[in-house]
Structure 1
Amino acid sequence: MINQRFNMLIKIQQEREERLQAQFVSAQQFYQQQEQKYQGLANYRTEYIQQSQQQGSLGIQSRQYNQFVNFIGKLDQAIQQQGRAVQQAKNAAEQRKQTWLAMQKKRKALELLVERNNFAELQKQLKQEQKNADEYASQQFMRLRAQSLE
């Protein structure tokens, strides 16, 4: 009866663990997407600067230079903002991972408890069987002794 309850608890824990694992995987994928966006912005900034330098070597007007500086500033802001998004996504993924691992630990503890309970029950049954066998042997001995005395 106790094992049935524990088995039900283990099943519930496993279902929770699976949901938490799926949430972790989803958060990890989101983090990777955010990281890719960040890298994309950083790469675009580098390429834009390189192209602008090539064009600038041919000569550039002050208005074009101001536009270039303003655009680089906007790219820098976008990169910083995306960097914060990456860090938040990383933190969220790590938190989900820790929650999942904690649930996994609880489930394993319950399984160990059931295993120990099963072992204790088995030991109890073996003791009872040994006691019954000893009692039977003792009765047999007494009967044989009583018969030999007659």
Structure 2
Amino acid sequence: MMSQRFSMLIKIQQEREEKLQALFIKAQQFYAQAEQKYQGLANYRTDYIQQSQQQGSAGLQSRQYNQFVNFIAKLDQAISLQAKAVQQAKAAAEQRKQSWLTMQKKRKALELLVQRNDMAELQKQLKQEQKNADEYASQQLMRQRALAEL
């Protein structure tokens, strides 16, 4: 049947699908890590500002204030870069997901094609068997009539 002829092709499609799924999972994990890093930086910035404000209530020297401002600027820059990394990781994960789902659709379509063809071949075979059975019954009837005429 056709399914035997296409079993290798379906197997190859499944392997490709599994590889794409693995790539999607890795991309999703990378995205989650990037998001965690972003949240960590944002939380650190908030904590640092709160601690600095508490210390600053006692009064800050201009040098300490400049260090504070410079450090916050560096944190802001790091947060901005990490936000871009998060967006890129999210886009990559989504692209890999779409590739995986597309391959999954192709495999399912191929399996459906094979299944439909197998059903068509089975129906053809059943029709042939019915035709043979009808022909055999017809020949039996003709023999019985021929014997009855004798």
What's the TM-score bracket when you normalise by the shorter of the two chains? over 0.9
Root-mean-square deviation (CA, aligned residues, Å) is 0.7
Structure 2's unaligned 5+ residue stretches are none
Residue of structure 1 equivalent to 2:18: 18
User: Does the 8 Å contact 2:3/2:115 carry over to 1?
Assistant: no
2:59 alignment partner, SS class: coil
Instruction: Write the distance in 1 (CA, Å) between the matches of 2:125 and 2:2.
Output: 16
1:65-90 CA distance string (max 9 Å, x none) = 01100100000000000000000000
Residue in 2 aligned with 1:145? 145
SS in 1 for 2:58: coil
Corresponding residue number in structure 2 for 1:48: 48
| Distance in structure 2 (CA, Å) of the matches to 1:122 and 1:50 | 75
Q: Distance in 2 between matches of 1:5 and 1:69?
A: 70
Deviation at 1:148, TM superposition (A): 1.1
Q: Please report how far the alpha carbon of residue 8 of structure 1 lies from its aligned counterpart in structure 2 after TM superposition.
A: 1.1
Q: CA deviation at 1:2?
A: 2.8
Following superposition, the deviation at residue 5 of structure 1 comes to 2.2
**2:21 and 2:97 in contact (8 A); partners too:** yes
Distance 1:31 1:91 in 2: 9
Tell me how far apart the structure 2 counterparts of residues 52 and 3 of structure 1 sit (CA, whole Å): 71
**Runs of 4+ more than 4 Å apart:** none
| Aligned ranges 1:46-125 → 2 under 5 Å | 46-125=46-125
Please report the TM-score for the alignment, with normalisation by the length of structure 1.
0.98
The amino acid across from 2:119 in the alignment is F
Identity of aligned residues (%): 81
Shift of 1:135: 0.4
Q: Which runs of 5+ in 1 are unaligned?
A: none
